[in-house]
Amino acid sequence: MAPNEKLAELSAAGVAVWLDDLSRDRIRSGDLQTLIDDFSVVGVTTNPTIFAAAISGSDSYDDQVHAMAIRDIGVGEALRTITAADVRDACDLLAPVAQRTGRDGRVSLEVSPGVAHDTDATAAEAAHLWWLVDRPNLFIKIPATQEGLAAITTSIARGISVNVTLIFSPERYRAVMDAYLSGLEQRVRDGGSLTGIASVASFFVSRVDGEIDRRLDECGADPSLKGRAAVANAQLAYQAYEEVFSSERWRALEAQGATPQRPLWASTGTKNPDYPDTLYISGLIAPDTVNTMPEKTLKAYADHGSPGTPVQQTYDEAAQVMKAVAEAGVDLDDVFASLEHEGIKKFTDSWDDLTASIRSQLEDKK
């Protein structure tokens, strides 16, 4: 089967198509390979919610859990052993993509959300996961909290490739890019090589519309503003990306072998059924970006997606949209802070559910 034409065109426009999902069943059944071959998928992202759904809904993990139960392995180690095994297998499956493209073929594994506000613990866990999976096409996901920024710098300086997650505002995104560049600069000062170090910055999209739409309703604002802020916010983030990665500071690092930290559009499944199901793909087409999609959204675009206005042509309108939202009475700083807090809580809750599920399975199989 030839690759889907619409997704192939998206890739040709500079958007790397990644899948926002992973499970052992998806790997073993050949489904992931089909998505690579037929739907232009060149990367995979995971998070605690994805793993909780994968492990609780499958018996593919039973033998591994049984073996760990016999050995009396603790729940924390068991959880990491299981998730690392899936990510390692996915890295191996995507290795040919990594070799062909030089920058895709990546699979992401997240640090525990419970350490999102602890710099040292985040950096330590990132190093451990990098060692545990032991694949060059791995990304370690680190949340873009204030405490996470220093851990990003430390990890990059150690030669660990990072997917920075839970970014909601262009201002925090600028801080993330600074953390990445600082890590590269520190590595150079320490005598290390920049070869092979990569990063993406996961800018969350649909959740922004969900929160801002709700507040617009509360303010009694013009309904025409609804469903526009998330794309506009991300478009302004790309403008920031262009500024930073055309700076003299960046050029100096690029001359030493550094690669740019690409923007990654995350949370791209449409939550509001009144909006087009390809809204957060069509409106965010730009060179050197990644769009990580749930399978439903991926196949929706493959079926009926069409490109919108190129992002580089939208900056003035995007700024006007965000200005209008603020003038309507929406406190954008509070929106972004609330979304970060909510995002960490959701992943922490999923992590706790996953831990409880594995603990129960370990006890059942002793």
Three-class SS of residue 65?
helix
Closest listed residue to residue 264, CA positions, set 1, 16, 32, 93 = 16
Write the CB contacts of 72 (distance below 8 Å, at least 6 apart in sequence): 366
Instruction: Answer for the pair 245, 173: CB distance below 8 angstroms, yes or no.
Output: no
Residue 17: which residues within 8 A CB-CB, separation 6 or more?
A: 7, 10, 11, 39, 40, 41, 42, 43, 291, 293, 298
Q: In this structure, are residues 275 and 248 in contact, taking their beta carbons and an 8 Å threshold? A: no
Alpha carbon dihedral 33, 39, 40, 41, in 10-degree steps, equals: -50
Helices within 102-205 (DSSP H only):
119-133, 146-157, 170-189
Nearest to 290 by CA among 173, 201, 215: 201
For residue 16, list its beta bridge partners.
290
Active-site residue, selected from the candidate residues 141, 226, 271, 323: 141
Indicate the burial class of 328 (C-beta count within 10 angstroms; 0-12, 13-18, 19 or more): middle
Residue 24, CA distances (Å) to 53, 62, 64 in order: 11, 11, 12
As given in the structure block, the two tokens for residue 3 are 């690759």
Q: Give yes or no for a contact between 211 and 339, defined as CB atoms under 8 angstroms apart.
A: yes
Identity of residue 354: L
Whether 346 is a known active-site residue: answer no
Joined tokens for residue 312: 């580089």
Q: Are strands 138-143 and 41-44 parallel, antiparallel or unpaired?
A: unpaired
Catalytic annotation, residues: 141
